[in-house]
Structure 1
Amino acid sequence: MRILISNDDGIYAKGIYYLAKELEKDHECIIVAPDKQRSAAGHAITLHRPITVKKVKLEGIKSIAYSVDGKPADCVKVAIEKLLEDKIDMIISGINNGFNLGTDVIYSGTVSAAVEGAIYKIPSIAVSVDFNADDEYYKRAARHVKKIAETSYSKLKNDVVLNINVPKEDIKGIKVCSLGNRIYVNAYIEEETGNEGERKFQLAGEVKDFDDVDTDVFYIKNGYITVTPLHYDLTNFNIINEVNLWLTKEVIL
């Protein structure tokens, strides 16, 4: 396969190194990633200034690599539109430093890079591990995602993203499951500014997980690699007819 690799932790992140190192053993890889940390960038793109693309050399990696002074979605867009001469078979985004579980996917630049690939009708994968992973953890996750990618390529629809999270140790197997729910409590800490009329808040807080059975939040805590198929169509089909009924009956234009 020809695989485009991206992430949101930046071109020099440990996760992208180990992912590329594993994938390039058997596949042709091209790396296009942000020039610096862009976590929680979501699906933002750069509109009001040019973005700069620079060819870089990653120590120990044979694949061609480019840094982009933009967001993860920018990286995938500019790669497809301008940098890649031949067809890409798959996009893999990661390995992210920190799980992307449940509602995290809304904020995640890692997931958004993969979603951008799906928008271009390219099968895409996002992969994440727990915070502060050591080298062996990254290596193990890279081996697992390589197997999943090779198995899924001929079967995965081109507008679907597989969101993968790999637990730290004692892996029991793989669970294909739905997104769970997690919220961040006490999310902002107020800091002194010294300026009258000004308030400053630092995003912090703690994660509160809802451990509903059959979700990624539940299974990751029980030692399973979680795989959740995602799609960029956010339509709530369960209530589309209900909304149509109340609006067409009650709203007169």
Structure 2
Amino acid sequence: MTKRPLILVTNDDGITAPGVRALIEAVQDLGDIVVVAPDSPQSAMGHAITINSTLHLERVKIDESGRTEFSCSGTPADCVKLAVNEILDRRPDLCVSGINHGSNSSINVIYSGTMSAALEAGIEGIPAIGFSLLDYNYNADFSAAKIVAKKVTQEVLKNGLPKDVVLNVNIPNIKNDAIKGIKVCRQAKANWQEEFDKRQTPQGKDYYWLTGKFVNLDKGEDTDEWALENGYVSVVPVQFDLTAHHYVQQLNTWNFND
């Protein structure tokens, strides 16, 4: 008898966030679900891991489903590491992360705790997908995102993913019947023009709030930003090898050893 796929579910908004509950609902019929997620919000954590303090795991009961769920005191990447090494009795067939409250398109992927959890699974050799909805509202409508998440998850379970490749899926904040389709894209060249709002405490000590605006510098129609602005779900295959392969040959012409 063939075993059902084992699907590890995680996120960065915390184990009780509506987005991760929506993701669980979307994929629960596709395999056996184990949830390991942070016990509090860990947005914009990037690929941080906990090395200077202890980590805590607690088995929790969020609903009456009876599924296996753990809350973790660490980061999203910590959650995946602990799941693989301490909790699961077999290797997951897939890791899904999200559904994030807010965009992880373009440059946001490097700051994202959601995507870092997926990338950590990829490092472990586990096919992985990060899902994000372009709505920061805690009570966002995840109905369209759930349909997309199930469809993409089914395709990954069916087709697999190449070694070291993870999918970054972003979903526009529109109704399901308004979504034009799912578009495979490249990451747009964009960045944040950042400022710091400097203030003072009543005691006269300076403190800062990070502010700024997102600027898309890429006019291509094959990017995630273009797809999202035009009513498509964007799917970008990403990797954790940061080598600038195109520059290796040129760099070898430098006189490092003279």
User: TM exceeds 0.5?
Assistant: yes
RMSD (CA atoms)? 1.7
Length-normalised TM-score, structure 1: 0.93
Secondary structure of 1:36's aligned partner: coil
User: Does the C-alpha gap of structure 1 residues 60 and 219 become closer, same or farther in structure 2, counting only changes over 3 Å?
Assistant: farther
Q: Check if 1:179 corresponds to 2:179.
A: no
Give the counterpart letter for 1:216 in structure 2: D
Secondary structure of 1:24's aligned partner: helix
How many percent of aligned residue pairs carry the same amino acid?
36
Q: Check if 1:63 corresponds to 2:67.
A: yes
Length-normalised TM-score, structure 2: 0.91
State which of 207, 212, 230 in structure 2 corresponds to 1:200: 207
State the 1:142 CA deviation: 1.6
Match of 2:30 in 1: 26
Map residues 25-174 of structure 1 onto 2, 5 A cutoff. Answer: 25-59=29-63, 61-132=65-136, 137-153=141-157, 154-169=159-174, 170-174=178-182
State the 1:135 CA deviation: 6.3
User: Does the C-alpha gap of structure 1 residues 166 and 60 become closer, same or farther in structure 2, counting only changes over 3 Å?
Assistant: farther
Match of 1:191 in 2: 199
Deviates more, 1:163-172 or 1:20-29: 20-29
Give the counterpart letter for 1:37 in structure 2: P
Match of 1:210 in 2: 217
Deviates more, 1:151-160 or 1:114-123: 151-160
Give the counterpart letter for 1:167 in structure 2: P
Gaps of 5+ in 1: none
User: Does the C-alpha gap of structure 1 residues 187 and 64 become closer, same or farther in structure 2, counting only changes over 3 Å?
Assistant: farther
Query: Does the aligned pair in 1 maintain the 2:27–2:153 contact within 8 Å?
Result: no
State the 1:59 CA deviation: 2.3
Write the distance in 1 (CA, Å) between the matches of 2:101 and 2:169.
13
Write the distance in 2 (CA, Å) between the matches of 1:82 and 1:51.
12
Query: Does the aligned pair in 1 maintain the 2:101–2:138 contact within 8 Å?
Result: no
Secondary structure of 1:204's aligned partner: strand
Match of 1:224 in 2: 232
Write the distance in 2 (CA, Å) between the matches of 1:79 and 1:126.
17
Q: Check if 1:9 corresponds to 2:13.
A: yes
Write the distance in 1 (CA, Å) between the matches of 2:111 and 2:138.
24
State the 1:44 CA deviation: 0.4
Deviates more, 1:53-62 or 1:95-104: 53-62
Query: Does the aligned pair in 2 maintain the 1:17–1:61 contact within 8 Å?
Result: no
Write the distance in 1 (CA, Å) between the matches of 2:196 and 2:57.
34
State the 1:252 CA deviation: 3.1
How many pairs are equivalent?
249
Query: Does the aligned pair in 1 maintain the 2:27–2:149 contact within 8 Å?
Result: no
